[in-house]
Amino acid sequence: VQLQASGGGLVQPGGSLELSCAVSGSTSGYYAVGWFRQAPGKEREWVSCISRSGGTTDYADSVKGRFTVSRDNANNAVNLQVKDLKSEDSAVYYCAARLFRFGGCGLLFSHYYYWGQGTLVTVSS
């Protein structure tokens, strides 16, 4: 299973972006996916997750109300819409997938088995 995050860029404070995580190589179906981010000099932190069915989502307190995760099953992708961006949201954003047998949302780094390359989000005026 391969994941590829895209959609990052430079945006002004208060701006919006839509990040996408393309999932390929699966013969089993859809996976539970999480988003993490890592800012320079900081540890990777969990941001959001969506269950395999899409029926369950969860968010870190720091992004709740501003970020929205959703599934695009037609394209086998998971999107993360990020709004009202702040300077502290600047980071490399990574998507990750759980093993297929774990269909629920995962909140921990250790819950995820497959990782993609990140996409850089820079919030600056």
Read off the pLDDT of each residue in 3-7 and give the average, rounded to a whole number: 96
pLDDT for the residue numbered 119 = 98
First-to-last alpha carbon distance for the chain, in angstroms, is: 37
pLDDT in tens, 51-90: 999 999 999 999 999 999 999 988 899 999 999 999 999 9
pLDDT in tens, 6-46: 999 999 999 999 999 999 887 767 899 999 999 999 999 99
C-beta atoms surrounding 54 within 10 Å: 16
| Tokens standing for residue 108 | 């921990």
The vertex-82 CA angle with 105 and 33, nearest 5°, equals 20
